[in-house]
Structure 1
Amino acid sequence: MPHSARTAATDRLAQDAADLQAALARLLRVYQFRDRDRICCHDVSVTQCHALELLVERGAMRSQALSDALLLDKSTTTRVVDALVRKGYAERSPDLEDRRAVRLRATTAGRRLVQRINDDLVAQQRALLADLPAEVRRGTIETLDRLAGLAERRFLDAGGCGPGACAPSEGRRPGCA
């Protein structure tokens, strides 16, 4: 490829990256407010909802596994789980493989709550998607799913981001600008 074509492609990629960042920032900001407003009216925080969703989807797990999945430190996860247990949405039980460990699981009330919240959010997505042609809906969903997978591999699986990933003494890790 000639130098001028490579430069143009590099410039286009840089502009596309900036445009994607702006579009995602806008979309995430809207969804963060939507989630806060819609989920919190179910008597749980957004983080508590995410934790409960994981317990429903993956089944019983140790606190450290939940911390890792939520990208939170263990003490924050403990506070999240304490609140869910207090509200009757999750419970702790001894881990049969390691008596020192505890397993967390969603209760029946917790599973019902996740279903209600999901139904509410899906209804909102349905209303949003109704304004788009079917082929645009499918293309958008496929693109977002592909971007999510790429981001997970680049930022999460590679260990680039997460709790403590950018400790002040270490400086910034690649991918954690």
Structure 2
Amino acid sequence: MDSDKSLILQQQIQQFIRLFGVLEQNKTPCGAPINITQAHALHELSSAGAITQQELANRLYIDKSTTSRLIDAFVKKGFVLRTTNPHNRRETLISITDQGRRANDQVEKRRRAKYQKILDGIPLDKQPEVLSALSHLIQSLKKEKENTMTEE
């Protein structure tokens, strides 16, 4: 039955969230002393260059008010700069500072080590299956998220 599969999926994702450490409020699953949203934002800003607050919100799938609070906190920590877009003076661009890049580098180092440990715990012959299943799950989540966003 599909409802049985749905329940199993729910239970497995809940277990994954708990074991991975997503419920920790003040540190990332890899143990970095910032929250998960901040870690993901630093990663995006590190690779993107200067982007708008809305573009960051879109990349992280979070709302404008959450993004605004996130950027405010980053400005206070010296992780980002806000500048006026020279091509559109009504827009503000967000860019990562050297201090923000160093913080991101520390998180990335921990993240790589954590993911390697997880991968090492999966038999070599099963790793392609796991990665493929995750790709399918991500595509399904993206579709569901896009449908939810258009309904709002």
C-alpha RMSD of matched pairs (Å):
2.5
| Cα drift, residue 34 of structure 1 | 5.9
Q: Paired residue for 2:113?
A: 123
The answer to whether the 8 Å contact 1:48/1:80 transfers is yes
Percent of paired sites with the same residue:
25
| Relative contact order, higher structure (CA 8 A, sep 6+) | 2
Unmatched 5+ stretches in structure 2: none
The two structures have a TM-score, normalised by structure 2, of: 0.83
Change in CA separation of 1:150 and 1:39 when aligned onto 2, cut-off 3 Å = closer
Q: How many residues align?
A: 151
For 2:26 and 2:126, how far apart are their aligned partners in 1?
A: 27
For 1:52 and 1:137, how far apart are their aligned partners in 2?
A: 28
What whole-Å deviation, never above 9, does each CA across 1:98-121 have from its counterpart, x for those lacking one? 112110011222223222212212
For 1:151 and 1:116, how far apart are their aligned partners in 2?
A: 29
Change in CA separation of 1:75 and 1:59 when aligned onto 2, cut-off 3 Å = same
Q: Paired residue for 1:67?
A: 57
| Helix, strand or coil at the partner of 1:99 | strand
Equivalent of residue 112 in structure 1, options 92, 102, 110 = 102
1:134 corresponds to 2:127: no
Unmatched 5+ stretches in structure 1: 1-10, 166-177
Equivalent of residue 23 in structure 1, options 3, 8, 12 = 12
From the two aligned structures, give the one with the greater strand fraction. Answer: 2
